[in-house]
């Protein structure tokens, strides 16, 4: 990338005009995790939390977060999403819940921000539902894994020239 696209020639912030871009299928995948006390993770895994199904609620929150990204990130375009998938994995040894979001649309701009927002909101919901028993939880490693579609084509963290490597969850 040679320039930041959210600034005009005068250096003022603006929403990028995507009118001339081709309508293509756009997909993005993001991930992150939340680490916690083993006892907190046990409550989540057993479904024993008195607030209910933590991961079920977090999944719905993540979907809603993806749909509302343009309301949260000022220069994002509102998009008609065609699919949002949120998957969780409980890792007992790490005392963590891993979250992966896959977001799709057919449009003129990508869904990377929607995938990242879905992960963040999912993990924030886990925190919110469990903070009464564990305020020390830590949200970590929220990042884009891959994107496809559009003028810039496909990108994958595992193939990134910066040497970044994908962590399998």
List beta partners, residue 102. Answer: 29, 85
C-alpha pair distances (Å), 106 with each of 5, 48, 79, 110, 167: 21, 40, 9, 9, 28
Token representation of residue 115: 């995938």
Residue 128 falls in the annotated catalytic set = yes
Continuous H helices in the chain: 38-46, 54-67, 69-72, 112-130
Residue 144, helix vs strand vs coil? strand
Helix (H) or strand (E) holding 141: strand 138-148
Token representation of residue 20: 């001339």
Helices 112-130 & 38-46, crossing angle to 10 degrees?
100
From 17, 53, 128, 134, active-site residue = 128
Token representation of residue 24: 């293509």
Token representation of residue 131: 């903070």
Residue 162, helix vs strand vs coil? coil
Catalytic center residues: 128
């Amino acid at each position: 990338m040679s320039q930041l696209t959210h600034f005009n020639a005068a250096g003022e912030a603006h929403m990028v005009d995507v009118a001339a871009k081709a309508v293509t299928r756009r997909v993005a995948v993001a991930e992150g995790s939340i680490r916690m006390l083993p006892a907190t993770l046990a409550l989540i895994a057993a479904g024993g939390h008195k607030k209910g199904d933590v991961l079920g609620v977090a999944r719905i929150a993540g979907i809603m977060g993806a749909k509302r990204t343009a309301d949260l990130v000022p220069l994002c375009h509102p998009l008609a999403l065609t699919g949002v998938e949120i998957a969780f994995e409980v890792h007992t040894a790490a005392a963590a819940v891993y979250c992966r979001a896959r977001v799709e649309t057919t449009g003129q701009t990508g869904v990377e921000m929607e995938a990242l927002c879905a992960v963040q909101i999912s993990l924030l919901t886990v925190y919110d539902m469990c903070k009464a028993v564990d305020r020390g939880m830590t949200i970590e490693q929220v990042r884009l894994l891959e994107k496809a579609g559009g003028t810039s084509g496909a990108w994958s963290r595992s193939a990134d020239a910066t040497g970044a490597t994908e962590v399998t969850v």
